Amino acid sequence: MAVTCKTRGFRWALACALLLIAAPTLAVAAQDDAAVAARCQSPAPTDKVNPGDCGLAYLNLRLYDPAIAAFSQQIEAAPTSAEGHDNRGVAYDHAGKSDLALADFTAAITLKPDFALAYTNRCGLYGRKGQLDLAITDCTRAIALDPAADAPHLDRGQAYSLKGLNDEAIAEFTEAIRLRPGGGDGYAQRCYAYQVKRAYEQSLADCAQALRLQPGMALAHDNRGVAYDHLGQHELAMADFNEAIALNPKLANAFANRCYSWELQRLYDQAVADCNQAIRLNPDYAQAYRIRARLYGLMGLHTQAIADATKAIALDPTYPSFINRGSAYLIAGGFDEAVADFTRAITMAPDHMEGYLARAEAYEKKGQFDLVITDCTKAIALSPDSALGYNERAWAYHLKGADAVGLADVQKSLALAPGYVNAIETRGEIFERLGRRDEAIADYRAALKLDPGESYAAKGLARLGATA
C-alpha cells in the first residue's frame, strides 16, 4: 500500500501524514452474501448458484481464495466476460496478488474498452504500486467514460497527492464530495490533503464530517489522529489511532501513525513496537522503515537505524528515504556517507531546504565551515523565514571566528523565532567570544529557563563563573 509523507530528519521536525489508496470496487454488489455463499457450498443440485454470484458473495465476505476460484470458474465458462476478469482482479488485489490483479484488470479493459470500473480499479492498483502517472491516465479515462462516478476522482486525487500535487488532489476530493455528498471517503481523503497544507482546523472538520457520514471509518480516525498530533493534542491523537486500530487491526497506516505519535512523546519502546507491527502487516511499507530508522537512531542503535534506512531506500528510492539514511549516518558518525545521501536527496529535490540544512550539519561535523555557509545560504534563499537556516549559518561563522557576521545572522534568527533555544545559546556563545560577558550570561540563563536540561547553556555559565 503506497503512502506519502514529508519525512522528518533526526533534527528537523516536519509534518508526517499517511494516505491510503482506496481498495478496488466491485462491479456488482451481492445480496445476502452469507446465504448465497452457503448455497454455493451446498451439494444439492437445486441450490446451485452462478459462479459469478458465488464469487461476489465470497468477496464481500472477504473470503478471497474461494472468490478467486469462483471467478476462475466463471471465466472458464465465459472467457470473454469482462466483468469476471474485473471481479477476479479485485479478489487478487485484496489477496495481495497485485500482478495477477493487474493482468485481470487489463484483460477486462481489452475485452470491454469502455469499462469505466475496470479503469478505476486498475488506476487504484497502479497508485498502490507507486506508478502514479499510469494511475492518473487510467482514472482520467474512467472519468471520461463515467463522469458521475466519484471513485475515479478519489483515486486520481490520491495519485496527485502522492506526486506532491496537493492543490490538484484537493480539487479531486472536492469533486468526489460534490458527486456523492453522502459518502465519507472524499472528506476523509481531503482531511489528509489539508494536513499537507497545514490547514489543521479544516482537516479536523473534514474528518469529523467523514465520521458523521460513516461512523466506523478507520481511515477517518487515523487521519484525524495525525491532525491532532500536529496540533500537539497527543491524547486525542492516540484515542483516534486506537479507534482506527480497533476498527481495522490490519490497518498498517494506523500503527505507523501511532508509532510516530509515541515518538513525539519520546516513548521510543512503544513506538518501535507499533512500527514493528506496521511492517509485519505490510513488509514493503517504506515509511514504517523510515520512522523506525529514526527511532533506532534516537535510541543509539546505529546499525539497526542504517539497516532500516537502507531498506526504505530499496523500497522507495526517493528524497525522504535518502534524507532519512543520511540522518542515520550522521548520528552514527558516518559523515562522508551522510554527505553522499544528502547530496543525492538534493539532486532529487533541489527546491527543498531541508536537504541543504541536513548536508550543512554533516559538513559542520567534518569541519568544512565554508560549505556549511554555502548550504545554509541556499536554504535561506529557499525559505527566507527559516530561523533554523540563519542560526546554522551564524554558528558556522562563529566556528570560523567571524563572530560579528554570525551575530547579525543569529539576531535575524531570533527576530523570526524569539523563543528558539538553540539560537539563544548561539548568541550567548558569540557574546562570550566577543567579551560581552553580561549579555552572554543573560542568554545562557534565558536558554536554561526555556529548557532546564540544556547542557551547552549550563557549561557557558560555568565558564563565566555565573550561576543559573
Q: What is the DSSP letter of 24?
A: P
Cα–Cα distance, 321 to 343 (Å, whole number): 12
- What pLDDT is stored for residue 45 in this prediction? 62
Cα–Cα distance, 170 to 157 (Å, whole number): 7
Query: Which residue type sits at 244?
Result: A
| Angle separating helix axes 319-332 and 302-315, nearest 10 degrees | 170
pLDDT tens digits, 417-453: 999 999 999 999 999 999 999 999 999 999 999 988 8
Cα–Cα distance, 290 to 315 (Å, whole number): 11
Cα–Cα distance, 363 to 383 (Å, whole number): 20
Cα–Cα distance, 156 to 116 (Å, whole number): 14
Tell if the pTM clears 0.85, that is, is over it.
no
Cα–Cα distance, 438 to 434 (Å, whole number): 11
Cβ neighbours of 367 (radius 10 Å): 10
Strands (E) in 171-227, as ranges, are none
Collect all residues with Cβ–Cβ distance below 8 Å to 286 and sequence separation of at least 6.
3, 311, 312, 315, 316, 321
Q: Low-confidence residues of the chain, pLDDT below 50?
A: 1-23, 27-30
Cα–Cα distance, 450 to 468 (Å, whole number): 12
275 is written with which cell numbers? 512500527
Alpha-carbon torsion (410, 413, 417, 423), positive or negative = negative
pLDDT tens digits, 33-76: 888 888 898 877 666 788 999 999 999 998 999 999 999 999 99
With CA atoms as reference, report the closest residue to 94 among 23, 148, 177: 23
With CA atoms as reference, report the closest residue to 299 among 327, 266, 339: 266
- What pLDDT is stored for residue 68 in this prediction? 96
- What pLDDT is stored for residue 183 in this prediction? 92
Place of cell 494506523: 254
Q: What is the DSSP letter of 240?
A: H
3-state class of 7 per DSSP? coil
- What pLDDT is stored for residue 25 in this prediction? 52
Cα–Cα distance, 399 to 371 (Å, whole number): 12
